[in-house]
Amino acid sequence: MTFLHGKSTVVVTQSMALLPVRLKLIVILLLVCQLLCSTIAFGSVLDKDEEEFSEELLLKPLPDRKVLAHFHFESRAPPSISFGRHHHLFPKAISQLVKKFRVKEMELSFTQGRWRYEQWGGFDPISSNNAKPPGVELWAVFDVPQSQVDASWKNLTHALSGLFCASINFLESSTTYSAPEWAFRPDSGNLRYGTLPREAVCTENLTPWLKLLPCRDKAGLSALMDRPSIYRGFYHSQRLHLTATGSSSQEVDSGTVLEQTLTVVLQPISWRTGKSYVDKANSQPSWSISSIFGRKVNGKCVLAKSSNVYLQFEKGLVGELKNLHKENADSETNKLASKDFLSYPSFELSVNPDKVFEEVDNLHSKSTSVLYEFSVEKYNDSHPLDLGLTWKIPVVWSCQQAPLHASRFLMGSGNERGAIAIYLKPTELSEGLKKSNIVDKSCELRVNVFQVVPWYIKVYYHTLQVFVNQQSRAVADVMEKIHVSPSKDKISPGVMEMILKLPCGLESAALNLEFDKGFLHIDEYPPDANQGFDIPAAIISYPDFHASMRFSEDGSLDKSPMFSKFQEKSLVLSYTEILLVPLTTPDFSMPYNVITITCTVFALYFGSLLNVLRKRVDEEERFLKSNAGRKTGRLSTLVSKLSAKLRGKPREPQPSTTASSSSVSFKLIFKVLLVAGIAICWQYYFG
Amino acid sequence: MESKKEENRKKTSSFWVWAIASVIFRLILIYFPKNLNLSSRPEVSTPLTSLRRLAEGYWLKQSSMSPYAGSMYHGSPLLLSLLGPLTVKRMEGQPNHLLCSLLFVLADVVSAVLIRATGRKLQTAYSRSLKLLQLDSLSKSSENLSSGDVAALVYLWNPFTIVACVGLSTSPIENLAIILSLYGACTRLPSLAAFGWVVATHLSLYPAILIIPLIFLLGYGPDAPPRKLFVQRRNGKDGDNPSSGSSCLQEELFNQSKPPLTFSWKPVVQFLFWASVWSVYVLALCSLSVKQKGGLREMFKSTFGFILTVEDLSPNMGVLWYFFAEVFDFFRNFFSIVFHMNILFMIFPLAIRLNHRPCFLAFVYITISSLLKSYPSVGDSALYLGLLGLFVFELADMQFSFFLFCGYIGVSLLSPVMHNLWIWRGTGNANFYYATAMAFACFQIVLVVESASAMLNHDRKLRKLSVAKP
């Protein structure tokens, strides 16, 4: 719009020189008018639909010498009146999806690798939101009547499948998705949940995902996504979260918030400058953006409202650094402001941060995590941002973990039956809980378990056993609530949702469920049948624990979408391992043999039994023959007459043997006609 | 006379000794350490008869869901209410499901006693009709051996029965219902026969075809030589000089014992009436127990529907599982119709040819259905092998009996081995196990065919003898 106006003004000013003065005045007046109008119009457009896009990158050193990079892109489309609206920034494909299938909320994640809860943390917003099971996970809440949810889901899977070049359409089959009632998300009415554990995630899924960004991967932070270095990582999860906001009235289209995150855990190739470390195992590798991604940040995406890079030091790391610092310099005062923290000699940043934030801790622990902000706006092609972190001394710390560490495994051998066990082991956090809650005896840890099992794993829910501290306990004592929807063969998977009530001071807890392995039809096996079948990951969550991270300095972080997301209380949850269950296979090579042999056995049965029943011996045979001799078939003579007429020959007096043969042939013809008639009827009615 | 009585008593006491010994043997097996694991054998527990699935169904019912909610339980809701509470009760230091096992042992013993009673009834009726035909020599030889005792002991000591009983499958109860109906029909108790028939049909569908032998049993009475012989004999009598004293005696006998020449409609009508009463009763009970969830429609779908459509493809002793695992999907309906029609096709030829021997007809039907049913187990084989003992006298000339005996033993030894190789070790493949199932089916076919032909030959022999002896 502005562009067009600009052009017209140029034309007008050129023509102005040729016109008389009076005309000039009129033209100027007109021009001013026009300009005014246009600015007003433009302003109103800006007011009405503020489509926003922001990009952020969070870097975080991890205890096991790796680096977490968390990209966060957020596009917002506020509610608007018009239909078929043109979007400035928001991807049209997504908004059409939301409109068409009336998606209230949706999350799609593509993951490769397994998030290591012990080493990479399990109690922060990143791990509870972005640690996903391998393969594809999709859940969606629909704003449609209950009866249409399944249809919407099926259409949505197909649409997403096309959009992301993945086999999400396999989630269409009712055997792959489930409708969890309360264990997956607290208020899930029209929710459908499905996973594809086997889906291989690669760059063909990332490219369509990047296409949704206004700058794609051409500029801004997304330009860092060098495919080889991303897929070299230990963990890689690209996620797309959609939320429809405010669709109270009918006329107004709902606004949409599209949140795209990419979480990568990378091993920096340590480039050592300066001192060589004594303790190699403990030494943290020094890294920079260019060393882990192979690229530098060449400025922001011009369409982005904000573009920042953050570096976060975890609580444990900060505490450790402070301790080290204290040891080194006893003389320093104990009052350590975060600003001072930078001046620690244990590490060095290659770029000075624009801002430093400290976490507001709700738990009263001695150290809080520290965040450095680097604004990308200052940097450009000639002066790229290459944030580097150089460690001077070795540091060892540990991450904050979820109350329990959950793992799941299979028991038993052979292909007939087995058992699924979920093993829960306390971590440091629950140890701490035990100590803090030792006063009140009634301390309980609530654990939410959600597990979907495909139908060919036939779970016997009555065999559920609970072991607390290696001792069998009655299920009713430990179970607060349980909901099971058992699997139906070839129709729906089995879903188990339950809330366990465990004592705080537990040493271990285990759940045990027995199952029989099913036998599938030959067509239902995948091409690599002997590889086995996957049981999707179970979700263990802790309804009493919420992970949130709040940084405060001057409230400037509140504007950042990533950190406002982190501030929201998110349920602490963890995914267990995916189980690989080998199933028995039939012989794929010989369906014909089986069919023919079985039919032969049936024929043997039928024929021999019928033969025994109608067999005559000696005198019976003779008796029958004499009977037959007496009454020569009237029909057969008739037929022979008929055939003689047809042939135009005088009927020969036939001996009885030929008569019988002709009757046989008549019978044969009759049978053939009968069969043909049945076949025609069949074809007509059922064909 | 005295010595005969003595002998009888001896026989009875020895029967009871053996029966009690079999019960003790079962108890020993029940208390055997856990590693016996019979309940998970595919030969013992099919999806229909497995007690574990029943326990799952009961658990679902207890947690206010339909017992048919998952694809686990496919049995009757009445059995669920009967056995369900027993599966939950656990006693310290006792084996799991002890009460259920004891119930199954009881069912076995009751079935054996009923078989024995049926056998005695059949034997007395048969020897009477032989006397009528003046074939006393045959009846004498048949009296030496009490076929009821033989059949009952065969039933009790058959390894198949023992395994089915100890292996926690519900087939002892299904067998009991079938035997009850046969017993009721033999003793001319239409209500009992109808009850047994309705319950057996409700439990496993296939006994529905037994309605034909039951009607024959009630109409004509128990097994007898072909009716034509009696007619011939009577006609012969009429033609002969009527002054002879022995023939007068014969005539009286004829009139007294009412040889099975005429079809008596009264018990049959009673049977049909009672059958409808019992089926309404059973359906009412079922609808009461599944009222809140799904109702009768769902029940029929997941019991009879499950049987007829062969949904579960887990291996068993039958021939259908592998066939349906391999056959192309669009032929599936066709073949399931064909295979079930195979049972129905044979009903009428057999009924026509063997209508004078309804009990044997019932035996053949049971054998055929256990051969062709979708989820056969050793419990079904145990039933027909037990009933085979009832005709030990008539089938004395059966061919291939030693071959069959060896075949049954061989298959029952090989089948677990092949299953182990395929499922547990992974060194064999499905065809190995399927081959044993095929062999078993073939042996059963040979058994049916040979027993039918032996029975027909026996009839021929009788005719020959009665014709030869005017």
Higher model confidence: residue B86 or residue B139? B86
For residue A414, give how far its alpha carbon lies from the nearest alpha carbon of chain B (Å).
4
Q: Quick check: B429 and A413 CB within 8 A?
A: no
> Does B400 reside within a domain?
no
The answer to whether the beta carbons of residues A212 and A93 sit under 8 Å apart is: yes
Q: Chain B within 8 Å of A414 (Cβ-Cβ)?
A: yes
> What confidence category does residue B435 fall into, taking pLDDT thresholds of 50, 70 and 90?
very high
Higher model confidence: residue B252 or residue A414? A414
User: Per residue in B119-174, pLDDT tens?
Assistant: 999 988 888 888 888 777 776 666 667 889 999 999 999 999 999 998 889 999 99
Q: Select the residue of A414, A584, A602 nearest B342 (Cβ to Cβ).
A: A602
Tokens encoding B344: 């129905």
Q: Select the residue of B63, B326, B453 nearest A484 (Cβ to Cβ).
A: B63
Q: Quick check: B72 and A602 CB within 8 A?
A: no
> Does B239 reside within a domain?
no
Interface test mutation site (partner A, options B53, B63, B72, B433, max chain A beta carbons within 10 A): B72
Q: Is A492 exposed, middle or buried (0-12, 13-18, 19+ CB in 10 A)?
A: buried
Mean predicted lDDT score pLDDT of chain B: 87
Residue B364: other Cβ atoms inside 10 A? 27
> What confidence category does residue B190 fall into, taking pLDDT thresholds of 50, 70 and 90?
very high
Nearest Cα residue to B176 out of B206, B212, B203: B203
Q: Is the pLDDT of residue A372 over 70?
A: yes
Q: Quick check: B423 and A416 CB within 8 A?
A: yes
Distances (CA, A) of A559 to A76, A80, A638: 13, 22, 103
- Between CA B463 and CA B230 the distance in angstroms is 10
> What confidence category does residue A13 fall into, taking pLDDT thresholds of 50, 70 and 90?
very low
Per cent of chain A over pLDDT 70 is: 77
Instruction: Write down the pLDDT at residue A31.
Output: 56
Q: What pTM did the predictor assign? A: 0.84
For residue A92, give how far its alpha carbon lies from the nearest alpha carbon of chain B (Å).
42
Instruction: Write down the pLDDT at residue A443.
Output: 75
> What confidence category does residue A628 fall into, taking pLDDT thresholds of 50, 70 and 90?
low
Interface test mutation site (partner B, options A487, A593, A613, A614, max chain B beta carbons within 10 A): A613
Q: Which residue from B minimizes the CA distance to A609?
A: B449
Higher model confidence: residue A623 or residue A650? A623
Q: Chain B within 8 Å of A516 (Cβ-Cβ)?
A: yes
In the three-class reduction of DSSP (H, G, I as helix; E, B as strand; rest coil), residue A277 is classed as coil
Instruction: Write down the pLDDT at residue A350.
Output: 87
- Interface ipTM: 0.91
Q: For residue A284, what is the enclosing H or E element?
A: none
Q: Which residue from B minimizes the CA distance to A493?
A: B70
> What confidence category does residue A251 fall into, taking pLDDT thresholds of 50, 70 and 90?
low
Mean predicted lDDT score pLDDT of chain A: 80
> What confidence category does residue A17 fall into, taking pLDDT thresholds of 50, 70 and 90?
very low
Q: Quick check: A594 and B445 CB within 8 A?
A: no
> What confidence category does residue A37 fall into, taking pLDDT thresholds of 50, 70 and 90?
very low
For residue A618, give how far its alpha carbon lies from the nearest alpha carbon of chain B (Å).
11
Pairing of strands A539-547, A444-453: antiparallel
Q: Which residue from A minimizes the CA distance to B329?
A: A523
Q: Quick check: A606 and B345 CB within 8 A?
A: yes
Instruction: Write down the pLDDT at residue A634.
Output: 63
Q: Select the residue of A413, A516, A613 nearest B452 (Cβ to Cβ).
A: A613
> What confidence category does residue B290 fall into, taking pLDDT thresholds of 50, 70 and 90?
confident
Instruction: Write down the pLDDT at residue A27.
Output: 54
For residue A597, give how far its alpha carbon lies from the nearest alpha carbon of chain B (Å).
9
Nearest Cα residue to A124 out of A546, A630, A597, A554: A546
Q: How many domains does chain B have?
A: 1
Q: For residue B411, what is the enclosing H or E element?
A: helix B401-419
Chains A and B form CB pairs within 8 A to the count of 142
Instruction: Write down the pLDDT at residue B419.
Output: 92
Tell me the mean pLDDT in the region A579-597: 90
> What confidence category does residue B192 fall into, taking pLDDT thresholds of 50, 70 and 90?
very high
Query: Pseudo-torsion of CA A633, A638, A643, A644, nearest 10°?
Result: 110
Whose tokens are 């592998």? That residue is B322
Q: Which residue from A minimizes the CA distance to B368?
A: A605
- Which chain A residues contact residue B71 at CB under 8 A? 455, 458, 486-489
> What confidence category does residue B224 fall into, taking pLDDT thresholds of 50, 70 and 90?
confident
> Does B177 reside within a domain?
yes
> What confidence category does residue A79 fall into, taking pLDDT thresholds of 50, 70 and 90?
confident
- Which chain B residues contact residue A602 at CB under 8 A? 319, 339, 342, 372
Q: Chain B within 8 Å of A520 (Cβ-Cβ)?
A: yes
Instruction: Write down the pLDDT at residue A379.
Output: 87
Q: Chain B within 8 Å of A486 (Cβ-Cβ)?
A: yes
Q: Select the residue of B72, B322, B346 nearest A458 (Cβ to Cβ).
A: B72
Q: Which residue from A minimizes the CA distance to B72?
A: A458
Q: Select the residue of B71, B323, B342 nearest A489 (Cβ to Cβ).
A: B71
Instruction: Write down the pLDDT at residue A331.
Output: 46
> Does B46 reside within a domain?
yes
Q: Is the pLDDT of residue B388 over 90?
A: yes
Tell me the mean pLDDT in the region B175-192: 94
- Which chain A residues contact residue B429 at CB under 8 A? 585-587
For residue A608, give how far its alpha carbon lies from the nearest alpha carbon of chain B (Å).
7
Per cent of chain B over pLDDT 70 is: 91
For residue A155, give how far its alpha carbon lies from the nearest alpha carbon of chain B (Å).
26
Q: Which of A245-259, A338-352, A603-617, B219-233 has the highest mean pLDDT?
A: A603-617
Q: Chain B within 8 Å of A487 (Cβ-Cβ)?
A: yes
- Which chain A residues contact residue B327 at CB under 8 A? 591, 594-595
Ramachandran assignment for A113, one of left (phi > 0), alpha (psi -120 to 50 degrees), beta (any other): left
Q: Which residue from A minimizes the CA distance to B430?
A: A586
- Which chain A residues contact residue B55 at CB under 8 A? 460, 462
- Between CA B402 and CA B387 the distance in angstroms is 18
User: Per residue in B439-452, pLDDT tens?
Assistant: 999 999 999 999 99
Q: Which residue from B minimizes the CA distance to A601?
A: B442
Q: Which residue from A minimizes the CA distance to B71?
A: A488
Q: Quick check: B40 and A484 CB within 8 A?
A: no
Interface test mutation site (partner A, options B97, B323, B345, B424, max chain A beta carbons within 10 A): B323
Instruction: Write down the pLDDT at residue A250.
Output: 57
- Which chain A residues contact residue B313 at CB under 8 A? 518-521
Q: Select the residue of B63, B325, B424 nearest A522 (Cβ to Cβ).
A: B325
> Does B407 reside within a domain?
no
- Per the structure, the complete domain to which residue B86 belongs is given by 2-224+259-307
Q: Quick check: B431 and A486 CB within 8 A?
A: no
Q: Is the pLDDT of residue B219 over 50?
A: yes
Q: Chain B within 8 Å of A474 (Cβ-Cβ)?
A: no
Q: Chain B within 8 Å of A462 (Cβ-Cβ)?
A: yes
Q: Select the residue of B70, B346, B430 nearest A609 (Cβ to Cβ).
A: B346
Task: Give the ranges where A77-178 is alpha helix by DSSP (H).
Answer: 92-101, 117-120, 125-130, 149-164
Pairing of strands A579-581, A471-473: unpaired
Q: Is the pLDDT of residue B68 over 70?
A: yes
> Does B111 reside within a domain?
yes
> Does B294 reside within a domain?
yes
Q: Select the residue of B55, B426, B429 nearest A587 (Cβ to Cβ).
A: B429
Q: Chain B within 8 Å of A608 (Cβ-Cβ)?
A: yes
Instruction: Write down the pLDDT at residue A686.
Output: 77
User: Per residue in A389-422, pLDDT tens?
Assistant: 888 888 888 888 888 899 999 998 888 889 999 9
Q: Quick check: B349 and A587 CB within 8 A?
A: no
Q: Chain B within 8 Å of A416 (Cβ-Cβ)?
A: yes
Q: Select the residue of B56, B58, B325 nearest A519 (Cβ to Cβ).
A: B325
> What confidence category does residue B436 fall into, taking pLDDT thresholds of 50, 70 and 90?
very high
Tell me the mean pLDDT in the region B110-114: 95
Tell me the mean pLDDT in the region B345-366: 92
Helix, strand and coil percent figures for chain A, each rounded to 5: 35, 30, 35
The answer to whether the beta carbons of residues A553 and A356 sit under 8 Å apart is: yes
- Between CA B207 and CA B197 the distance in angstroms is 7
> What confidence category does residue A335 fall into, taking pLDDT thresholds of 50, 70 and 90?
very low
Tell me the mean pLDDT in the region A339-347: 66
Tell me the mean pLDDT in the region A657-666: 62
First vs last C-alpha separation in chain A? 62
> Does B276 reside within a domain?
yes
> What confidence category does residue A85 fall into, taking pLDDT thresholds of 50, 70 and 90?
low
Q: Quick check: B70 and A521 CB within 8 A?
A: no
Instruction: Write down the pLDDT at residue A650.
Output: 56
